[in-house]
Amino acid sequence: MKRPLGITVHRQIMDSQSLHNEATGELSGLLTELIVAAKTISAEVNMAGLADALGVSGKTNIQGEEVQKLDEFSNNTIKRRMAQSGYICVMTSEEEDGIIPVQEGCEGKYTLAFDPLDGSSNIDVNVSIGTIFSIHRRISSSGQGDIDDLLQPGNELVAAGYMIYGSSTMLVYSTGEGVHGFTLDPSVGEFFLSHESIRVPEESKYFSVNEGNYNYWKPEMRSYVDYLKTIDEASGRPYSARYIGSLVADFHRNLIVGGIFLYPCDSKNPEKPYGKLRLLYEASPMAFLAEQAGGLALTDDGTRILDIKPTTLHERVPLVIGSRKEVERAEQFLNG
- Name the binding residues for substrate: 118-121, 210, 243, 276
- Cβ-based nearer residue to ligand AHG, 138 or 278: 278
In angstroms, give the least distance from the CB of 243 to ligand AHG: 7
Does the footprint of ligand AHG cover residue 115 (CB under 6 A)?
Answer: yes
- Cβ-based nearer residue to ligand AHG, 72 or 118: 118
In angstroms, give the least distance from the CB of 196 to ligand AHG: 26
Separation between Cα atoms, residue 179 and residue 88, nearest integer Å: 23
Does the footprint of ligand AHG cover residue 245 (CB under 6 A)?
Answer: yes
DSSP 193-207: EEE-S----S--SEE
Amino acid at 60: T
In angstroms, give the least distance from the CB of 137 to ligand AHG: 25
Window 165-204: residues binding ligand AHG (CB under 6 A): none
Does the footprint of Mn ion cover residue 115 (CB under 5 A)?
Answer: yes
Separation between Cα atoms, residue 198 and residue 213, nearest integer Å: 31
Cis bond before residue 238 (omega within 30° of 0): yes
In angstroms, give the least distance from the CB of 194 to ligand AHG: 23
Separation between Cα atoms, residue 265 and residue 271, nearest integer Å: 11
Cβ neighbour number for residue 18 with a 10 Å cutoff = 10
Number of residues in the chain? 336
Span of 5-13, 186-194, 246-254, 306-314 interacting with ligand AHG by CB under 6 A: 246-254
Window 49-78: residues binding ligand AHG (CB under 6 A): 65
Among 86, 108, 119, 161, binds ligand AHG (CB under 6 A): 119
Separation between Cα atoms, residue 292 and residue 197, nearest integer Å: 9
Does the footprint of ligand AHG cover residue 128 (CB under 6 A)?
Answer: no
Separation between Cα atoms, residue 23 and residue 16, nearest integer Å: 10
By a kind-dependent CB cut-off of 5 to 8 A, residue 276 interacts, out of Mn ion, ligand AHG, none, with ligand AHG
Window 82-101: residues binding ligand AHG (CB under 6 A): 94
What residues form the annotated binding site?
94, 115, 117-121, 210, 243, 276, 282
Greatest alpha-carbon span in the chain: 63
Separation between Cα atoms, residue 38 and residue 187, nearest integer Å: 15
In angstroms, give the least distance from the CB of 186 to ligand AHG: 24
Say if residues 167 and 129 touch (Cβ distance below 8 Å): no
Separation between Cα atoms, residue 68 and residue 123, nearest integer Å: 8
Amino acid at 301: D
Separation between Cα atoms, residue 143 and residue 125, nearest integer Å: 43
DSSP 239: P
In angstroms, give the least distance from the CB of 119 to ligand AHG: 4
Does the footprint of ligand AHG cover residue 331 (CB under 6 A)?
Answer: no
In angstroms, give the least distance from the CB of 169 to ligand AHG: 17
By a kind-dependent CB cut-off of 5 to 8 A, residue 245 interacts, out of ligand AHG, Mn ion, none, with ligand AHG
By a kind-dependent CB cut-off of 5 to 8 A, residue 312 interacts, out of ligand AHG, Mn ion, none, with none
Does the footprint of Mn ion cover residue 118 (CB under 5 A)?
Answer: yes
Separation between Cα atoms, residue 98 and residue 152, nearest integer Å: 16
Q: In 3D, which of 301, 63, 330, 306 has the Cα closest to residue 208? A: 330
Binding site for ligand AHG (CB under 6 A): 65, 94, 115, 118-121, 210, 245-247, 250, 276
